[in-house]
Amino acid sequence: MSSYISRATSKIVMVRAGSRCEYCRVLEYLSSFDYHVDHIIGVQHGGPNSLNNLAYVCSPCNWKKGPNISTILDLNGPLVPLFNPRTQDWFTHFEVKNGVLRPLTLVAEATIKLLELNLPNKIEERFEMMLSGFYP
């Protein structure tokens, strides 16, 4: 299966996301990184190029997520799926307080861990965006 995504499809995905990363929710125009149309379920796992498998993602989230669709929270724990922006509501899984993302579910906890969403620089960035009314 090809991983080619047309410009028209990319535009639809970007508009649907509101030009915001669908994992960390940072607006593209406030970021110093490129944004990408990413496969939620990677092509190597059989994920299609359909709109219901594509997300708009900032480079740091894309790099950290890679082809992963799950992670473990501890060495003896079970696999926990990552947040899926096509089938799950962000606000059901995450809350933010003073820039810190707080998990409301195991899915959010797994996503925060794998994507390293609570590194000090990310917390500071989110807090500043919150103060300016641009987050979440």
Q: What is the pLDDT of residues 77-121, one digit of tens each?
A: 899 999 999 999 999 999 999 999 999 999 999 999 999 999 999
Domain interval for residue 118: 7-131
The one-letter amino acid code at 53 reads N
Q: Residue 115: how many CB atoms within 10 A of its CB?
A: 26
Q: How far is CA 106 from CA 65, 102, 130, in A?
A: 16, 11, 24
How many domains is the chain partitioned into structurally? Answer: 1
The one-letter amino acid code at 128 reads E
Please answer whether residues 75 and 67 qualify as being in contact, where contact means their C-beta atoms are separated by less than 8 angstroms: no
Please answer whether residues 114 and 108 qualify as being in contact, where contact means their C-beta atoms are separated by less than 8 angstroms: no
Q: What is the mean pLDDT of residues 4-33?
A: 96
| Between 66 and 1, the higher pLDDT residue | 66
Do the domain assignments include residue 45?
yes
Do the domain assignments include residue 109?
yes
Cis peptide upstream of residue 120 (ω within 30 degrees of 0): no
pLDDT value, residue 3: 75
CA distance 108 to 29: 25
pLDDT value, residue 4: 86
Do the domain assignments include residue 88?
yes
- Determine the 3-state secondary structure of 7 from DSSP: helix
The three-point CA angle 55-60-61 to 5° equals 35
Do the domain assignments include residue 107?
yes
